[in-house]
């Protein structure tokens, strides 16, 4: 059988970024990527445990793969494997040949030399054995790139499995991050997203003591042990020093070119005033921040063990808006958390409307194994969760339409992503692009005006018409 591989990725941008690294490893071993996962020799499932629906789809895929291809080597990696004991995993996914902690991905070539379709192996996690961050990703886009800067989370929200699956927070050396970004920019990348489960807590030690930037600069920070935990701290606990802001500042100082710098996913508590200051003074920081609110009810936030109130988030957003008036915000909301009443849900709707989030990643609460909320009694059935999800999305649609309408008549900067077609004897060209808030823009340009507009270019577009998720305009 030919040396072919395919990867199915579930979950967040971090998982997609990890899959790009897996591609580099496999291609350095002369494996060829194929799109058809059922026919490849190696099938990698890069899974997610944050939502039950993703985990279920990943588990079902393993069964389906084996049914259709008896000779395939199935490798299971990502966020799931550390949440279960080996014997539970073997029972849940008997068709998987290798369970691989994502941090051990550099072991893959060696594993592939010994594994066969009849064996089953559990690769142990040897913490800090390899800095897997430094494996270069095989970029799936020529002009957009994800750069992981930290992994893990020390915050232990009661519903979230990330601190269990990804472990304690670890931060990559700043020097390595900046060098990687410089190379990407030289290659023509125009949008860089700094990634981490708790991206703006970069460089802070478990227990929340900050390191000096010099230490983080050279060595990064690696967790001392898997169970190192932090105490929940007060909002914005360190007045003067914030390693993430320092990192962002240094990236911008060392690079002259124009590009968009984004970061995902930040925590409201780690949104330091220094970061607002850096963003205010440099338009290369995308004018759209993601600030996970999760709920508008303080009672529910307490049950979630979120270390902030709804007003803390609102005040932080007002503080940012005061400094950067043209900024937009997106958020995460969980509906149907145990004990969330209709009154609590109404509080969420109220604050969502007040802030005017232009996009919301809504999650219907589902229990995750080994999290504290696993033992909470569900008080909201699926029908009610779906209703709350629907109501929230209706509100979102009206907010995002208003935001689109506010753009009509304005000139906005957009990153060109796709050329649609030439119209009317090549007189006009149609392109699709994206604003830094993520909103899609369809625009036309007269061929005579700019024949050389390329995918991956920045261009100013005058907005003429508004839709909910897309606006239309011309150059
Ligand atoms: S801060 Fe985010 S990643 Fe960390 S436990 Fe809470 S929800 Fe999960």
Ordered structural domains, the chain, with CATH: 4-122 (3.40.50.12160), 132-406 (3.80.30.20), 411-474 (2.40.50)
Kindly give the distance from the C-alpha atom of residue 365 to the centroid of ligand 1, in angstroms, as a whole number. Answer: 14
Report the percentage of the chain scoring pLDDT > 70: 87
Ligand 1 in reach of 160 Cβ (< 6 A): yes
Ligand 1 in reach of 153 Cβ (< 6 A): yes
Report the percentage of the chain scoring pLDDT > 90: 63
Kindly give the distance from the C-alpha atom of residue 337 to the centroid of ligand 1, in angstroms, as a whole number. Answer: 15
Q: Please write down the long-range contacts of 431-438, taking CB distance under 8 Å and 24 or more positions apart.
A: 431/459, 433/459, 433/461, 435/471, 436/260, 436/262, 436/286, 436/287, 436/288, 437/286, 437/287, 437/288, 437/328, 437/330, 437/358, 437/359, 437/403, 438/288, 438/330, 438/359
Kindly give the distance from the C-alpha atom of residue 271 to the centroid of ligand 1, in angstroms, as a whole number. Answer: 14
State yes or no: pLDDT of 190 exceeds 60: yes
State yes or no: pLDDT of 420 exceeds 90: no
Ligand 1 in reach of 151 Cβ (< 6 A): no
pLDDT digits (tens, 9 = 90+) for 368-407: 888 999 999 999 999 999 999 999 999 999 999 999 999 9
Return the ligand 1 atom nearest residue 154 CA: 4
Please state whether 23 falls in left (phi above 0), alpha (psi between -120 and 50) or beta.
alpha
pLDDT of residue 450: 62
Among 161-165, 274-278, 392-396, 444-448, where is mean pLDDT lowest?
A: 444-448
Among 55-64, 130-139, 343-352, 361-370, where is mean pLDDT lowest?
A: 130-139
**DSSP conformation letters of 334-391:** EES-TT--HHHHHHHHHHHHHHT-SEEEEEE----TTSGGGGSPP-S-HHHHHHHHHH
Helix (H, G, I), strand (E, B) or coil at 470: strand
Kindly give the distance from the C-alpha atom of residue 68 to the centroid of ligand 1, in angstroms, as a whole number. Answer: 37
pLDDT of residue 216: 62
239 or 97: which leads in pLDDT: 97
Ligand 1 in reach of 201 Cβ (< 6 A): no
Q: Can you say how many angstroms the Cα of residue 107 is from the centroid of all Cα atoms in its chain?
A: 25
Kindly give the distance from the C-alpha atom of residue 267 to the centroid of ligand 1, in angstroms, as a whole number. Answer: 8
pLDDT digits (tens, 9 = 90+) for 113-128: 998 888 888 888 775 5
Ligand 1 in reach of 267 Cβ (< 6 A): yes
pLDDT digits (tens, 9 = 90+) for 53-92: 888 899 999 999 999 999 999 999 988 656 667 778 888 8
Residues 35 and 6: beta-carbon distance below 8 Å: yes
**Average pLDDT value over all residues in the chain:** 88
Ligand 1 in reach of 290 Cβ (< 6 A): no
pLDDT digits (tens, 9 = 90+) for 298-334: 999 999 999 999 999 999 999 999 999 999 999 999 9
pLDDT of residue 215: 63
- C-beta atoms surrounding 78 within 10 Å: 27
Ligand 1 in reach of 157 Cβ (< 6 A): yes
The stretch 6-25 carries a mean pLDDT of: 91
Kindly give the distance from the C-alpha atom of residue 306 to the centroid of ligand 1, in angstroms, as a whole number. Answer: 9
Ligand 1 in reach of 403 Cβ (< 6 A): no
Residue nearest to atom 6 of ligand 1 (CA): 157
Kindly give the distance from the C-alpha atom of residue 98 to the centroid of ligand 1, in angstroms, as a whole number. Answer: 28
pLDDT of residue 87: 78
State yes or no: pLDDT of 438 exceeds 70: yes
State yes or no: pLDDT of 228 exceeds 90: no
Kindly give the distance from the C-alpha atom of residue 152 to the centroid of ligand 1, in angstroms, as a whole number. Answer: 9
Ligand 1 in reach of 230 Cβ (< 6 A): no
**DSSP conformation letters of 217-274:** HHH-B--SSTT-------SS--SS--HHHHHHHHHHHH--S--EEEEE---GGG--HH
Ligand 1 in reach of 295 Cβ (< 6 A): no
Q: Which of 48, 151, 197, 303 to mutate to test the pocket of ligand 1 (most atoms within 8 A of CB)?
A: 197
pLDDT of residue 225: 45
State yes or no: pLDDT of 279 exceeds 50: yes
Kindly give the distance from the C-alpha atom of residue 353 to the centroid of ligand 1, in angstroms, as a whole number. Answer: 24
pLDDT of residue 223: 59
pLDDT of residue 44: 96
The stretch 457-468 carries a mean pLDDT of: 96
pLDDT digits (tens, 9 = 90+) for 250-276: 999 999 999 999 999 999 998 999 999
The stretch 153-158 carries a mean pLDDT of: 90
pTM for this structure? 0.88
């Amino acid at each position: 059988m030919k040396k072919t591989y395919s990867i199915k990725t579930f979950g967040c941008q971090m998982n997609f970024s990890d899959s790009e690294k897996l591609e580099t490893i496999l291609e350095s071993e002369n494996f060829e990527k194929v799109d058809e996962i059922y026919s490849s020799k190696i099938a990698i499932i890069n899974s997610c445990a944050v939502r039950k629906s993703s985990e279920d789809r990943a588990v079902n895929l393993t069964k389906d793969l084996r049914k259709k291809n008896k000779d395939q080597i199935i490798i299971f990696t990502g966020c799931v494997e550390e949440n279960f004991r080996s014997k539970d995993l073997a029972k849940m996914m008997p068709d998987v040949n290798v369970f691989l902690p994502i941090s051990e991905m550099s072991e893959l070539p060696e594993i592939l030399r010994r594994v066969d379709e009849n064996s089953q192996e559990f690769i142990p996690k040897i913490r800090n054995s390899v800095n897997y961050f430094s494996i270069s990703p095989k970029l799936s886009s020529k002009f957009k790139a994800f750069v992981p800067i930290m992994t893990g989370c020390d915050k232990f929200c009661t519903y979230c499995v990330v601190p269990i699956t990804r472990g304690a927070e670890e931060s990559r050396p700043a020097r390595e991050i900046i060098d990687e970004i410089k190379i990407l920019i030289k290659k023509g990348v125009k949008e860089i997203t700094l990634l981490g489960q708790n991206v703006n807590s970069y460089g802070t030690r478990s227990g929340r003591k900050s390191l000096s930037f010099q230490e983080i600069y050279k060595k990064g920070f690696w967790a001392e042990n898997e169970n190192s935990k932090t105490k929940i701290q007060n909002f914005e606990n360190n007045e003067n020093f914030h390693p993430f802001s320092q990192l962002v500042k240094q990236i911008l100082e060392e690079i002259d070119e124009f590009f968009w710098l984004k970061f995902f996913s930040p925590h409201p508590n780690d949104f330091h005033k220094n970061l607002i200051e850096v963003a205010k003074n440099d338009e290369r920081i995308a004018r759209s921040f993601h600030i996970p609110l999760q709920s508008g009810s303080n009672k529910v936030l307490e049950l979630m063990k979120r270390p902030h109130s709804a007003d803390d988030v609102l005040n932080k957003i007002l503080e940012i808006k005061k400094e950067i008036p043209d900024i937009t915000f997106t958020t995460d909301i969980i509906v149907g958390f145990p004990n969330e009443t209709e009154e609590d849900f109404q509080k969420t709707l109220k604050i969502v409307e007040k802030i005017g989030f232009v996009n919301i990643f809504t999650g219907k609460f589902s229990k995750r194994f080994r999290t504290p909320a696993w033992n909470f009694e569900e008080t909201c059935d699926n029908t009610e969760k779906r209703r709350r999800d629907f109501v929230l999305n209706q509100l979102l649609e009206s907010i995002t339409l208003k935001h689109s309408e506010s753009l009509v008549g304005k000139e906005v900067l957009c990153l060109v992503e796709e050329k649609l077609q030439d119209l009317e004897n090549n007189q006009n060209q149609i392109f699709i692009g994206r604003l830094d808030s993520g909103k899609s823009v369809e625009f036309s340009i007269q061929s005579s005006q700019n024949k050389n507009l390329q995918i991956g270019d920045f261009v100013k577009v005058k907005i003429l018409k508004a839709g909910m998720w897309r606006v239309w305009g011309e150059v």
